[in-house]
Amino acid sequence: MGRRVVRRLRLPAAGLSLMLLLLVPTAAAGADSVWLDAAGRPNASARDALQILADAPADGLVAQDYQARELALQAADLVRAPGSAAASAPAFERALDTAMQRFLNDLHSGRVDPRSLGFRVAEHEPKTGDVAALLHAAADEGRLSQAVAALRPGLGQYGRLREALQHYRALAADASPGLLPSIAPARSLKAGDIYAGAGALHRLLVALGDLPAEAPPPADRYDAVLADGVSRFQERHGLEADGALGRATLAALNVPLSQRVLQLELALERLRWLPELDDQPLIGINIPMFRLWAWDPAAPADSLVDMNVVVGRALNTRTPVLSEKMRYVIFRPYWNVPPSIVRNEILPAIARDPAYLQRHDMEIVRGAGDNVQPVEASTPHNLALLRQGVLRLRQRPGPKNSLGRVKFIFPNDENVYLHDTPATQLFGRARRDFSHGCVRVEKPVALARWVLRDQPEWTPERIDAALAGPSSQRVDLTRPLPVILFYMTAMVTPSDRALRFAQDIYGHDARLVRALASRNDGRR
């Protein structure tokens, strides 16, 4: 008989370390079995598979979704008494095979179909091929770990969030310091103020990385060192980074670390929904963080373009989550006012102010495409036709135009796009959900230059001229660009590699938690 080796199998999801005596024989595995050797015991690939399932929490998954504990115990029984347990070996093999296929599908494509939540992400780009064939080939070749790594999302963001998840899990496992002491209502602490929670705040900021470990601990005051750390914390959590300890900042500091762990797990799930991008240039907008990044993996790191954005109002005009391709840019665009805005906002404004259209450089038109004709705006008859949708309303190019000087089009069913805006003051706000659903960009010139960078005829000078030109101009992209409007309340930002958290402004995290719970209930 071959030499026997003791192997430890970790089961972190169950919060335990289970010692199994898995006997590793030198004999070759059974020819007809993926997971059992010739004696009917779990082979090396089975042991690897059991460890992979036990380590599922490292990817934000739940080990017990894949019966990790039960399968480990069954494997131990087969090892201890292979003869007497021979009848259960086929059932073990089937269960392990099913669990591994389920795990690989979940790891690669996610546990929840994003379309079931109304998200238009990757619905035209199926990711998963024949998982069973891939699994069996990897098991036969002893390459399960490599297969798992290959099926994880390829974005660097995924690996960075996995690392952050392990760090925050470790922090959450430590004894909780408890809530920081409250402060007086309507008051913010500034550097130099007395604060009973100064020591606890110092320890928390060091643990979170917002203060260096060598930062001197305070006595009983909210000192300048703490204020600097709080400012960094505020900046990472979407708060006004003024260094003052107010009620909103204190509430964010008191969010349980277990909640941050959950946010990281949900972010990993959402990354699994995204299409496979094959290291191509990409524009990504994280809705709850009000931020846009445009980057090309093949270009130097300093070519990254990042900026603040304004997204749809949480109350009634939310920006959708979707994945499409940008196909053209329009300089000096008309704004074709959506019928809902015409009915709910513009017509009531005209009733209050008959000169509203003239003051906002708007015109009522009939026709479409190259056949558009302006009509007289002031007649009750035309306003009635406008309300009915027979006529349309548009705003001419110019300084009053709500779309600014340029818009970026990625055709989609929601009719949303990126655009410039004259309301630049909103980019200075910490929370920026003010639009009707489209995304307003802070740096439209930089974005236009990045989008057109591979079309040499569009020099910076020509772009500037088009932005200031007298008429509307469409520019088709020679290579369509992926655009992803995504929703993650935890993210490591590509510009500075800082881990950031955001509020669940649209309630999408809460909906995903419910969907995951419902899925698990259905499996019981």
What does the pLDDT look like over 485-524, one tens digit per residue?
Answer: 999 999 999 889 999 999 999 999 999 999 999 987 655 5
CA dist 287 and 438 (Å) reads: 11
Judgement on whether residues 312 and 461 belong to the same structural domain of the protein: yes
Annotated catalytic residue within 202, 419, 436, 508: 419
**Does any domain span residue 100?**
yes
**Does any domain span residue 424?**
yes
Does residue 136 carry a catalytic annotation?
no
Q: What's the gap between Cα 178 and its chain centre?
A: 29
How confident is the model at residue 430, as a pLDDT?
95
Q: Report in angstroms the alpha-carbon separations of 435 from 255, 403, 431, 484.
A: 28, 11, 12, 18
**Does any domain span residue 516?**
no
**Does any domain span residue 266?**
no
Judgement on whether residues 362 and 409 belong to the same structural domain of the protein: no
Judgement on whether residues 130 and 206 belong to the same structural domain of the protein: no
Range with lowest mean pLDDT among 67-81, 178-192, 339-353, 474-488: 178-192
Judgement on whether residues 322 and 469 belong to the same structural domain of the protein: yes
**Does any domain span residue 147?**
yes
251-295 confidence digits (pLDDT tens): 999 999 999 999 999 999 999 998 877 678 999 999 999 999 999
Judgement on whether residues 113 and 72 belong to the same structural domain of the protein: yes
> Which of these three, 87, 119, 152, is where a domain ends?
152
User: At 286, which CATH number?
Assistant: 2.40.440.10
287-344 confidence digits (pLDDT tens): 999 999 999 988 888 889 999 999 999 999 999 999 999 999 999 999 999 999 999 9
Which residue from 249, 284, 206 is spatially nearest to 430, judged by alpha carbons?
A: 249
Judgement on whether residues 472 and 414 belong to the same structural domain of the protein: yes
> Which of these three, 240, 255, 270, is where a domain ends?
255
Judgement on whether residues 45 and 76 belong to the same structural domain of the protein: yes
Annotated catalytic residue within 108, 202, 237, 438: 438
9-50 confidence digits (pLDDT tens): 333 333 323 323 233 333 333 446 899 998 889 999 999 999
List Cβ<8 Å contacts ≥24 apart for 124-127. 125/275, 125/276, 125/323, 127/275, 127/276
Beta strands in 313-370 (DSSP E): 322-331, 335-336, 362-366
Beta bridge partners of 433: 311
User: At 188, which CATH number?
Assistant: 1.10.101.10
515-524 confidence digits (pLDDT tens): 999 987 655 5
The domain in which residue 89 lies consists of: 9-152
Does residue 124 carry a catalytic annotation?
no
Judgement on whether residues 349 and 201 belong to the same structural domain of the protein: no
How confident is the model at residue 85, as a pLDDT?
64
Judgement on whether residues 312 and 441 belong to the same structural domain of the protein: yes
Q: How many domains does the chain have?
A: 4
Judgement on whether residues 210 and 310 belong to the same structural domain of the protein: no
The pLDDT of 398-424, averaged and rounded, is 96
**Does any domain span residue 238?**
yes
Which residue from 70, 147, 56, 35 is spatially nearest to 106, judged by alpha carbons?
A: 56
Which residue has 């309303």 as its token pair?
Answer: 393
pTM of the model: 0.88
Q: Report in angstroms the alpha-carbon separations of 268 from 273, 409, 461.
A: 9, 28, 41
Taken in order 243, 246, 247, 253, the sign of the CA dihedral is positive
Residue 126 has pLDDT above 70, yes or no: no
Judgement on whether residues 17 and 147 belong to the same structural domain of the protein: yes
Q: Report in angstroms the alpha-carbon separations of 213 from 113, 180, 337, 499.
A: 42, 19, 54, 18
Judgement on whether residues 412 and 303 belong to the same structural domain of the protein: yes
**Does any domain span residue 137?**
yes
**Does any domain span residue 2?**
no
196-244 confidence digits (pLDDT tens): 999 999 999 999 999 999 999 888 899 999 999 999 999 999 999 999 9
